[in-house]
Amino acid sequence: MTHQWDTGRSAEVGALLDEVRDHRDVAQVVQAMRADLHAHPAEWENHTLERYLDALAAIIDSVDNQLRNRGEDQPPQLDWALLARLLVGATGYE
pLDDT per position as a tens digit, 42-94: 899 999 999 999 999 999 999 889 889 989 888 888 899 999 999 999 999 87
Q: What pLDDT does 7 receive?
A: 72
The pLDDT of residue 66 is 86
In the chain, which ranges are continuous DSSP H helix? Answer: 23-39, 49-61, 63-69, 80-89
- Provide the pLDDT for residue 35: 96
At 11, the amino acid letter reads: A
Beta carbons of 56 and 62 less than 8 angstroms apart: no
Task: Return the pLDDT at 78.
Answer: 83
The domains of the chain are located at 14-89
| Whole-number pLDDT of residue 6 | 61
Q: Is the pLDDT of residue 4 over 60?
A: no
Report pLDDT for 74: 84
Comparing C-alpha atoms, which of 40, 21, 26 is closest to residue 87?
Answer: 26
Query: For residues 47 and 31, what is the distance between their CA atoms, to the nearest angstrom?
Result: 15
What pLDDT is recorded for position 76? 85
Q: Are 84 and 28 in contact (CB under 8 A)?
A: no
pLDDT of 8 reads 86
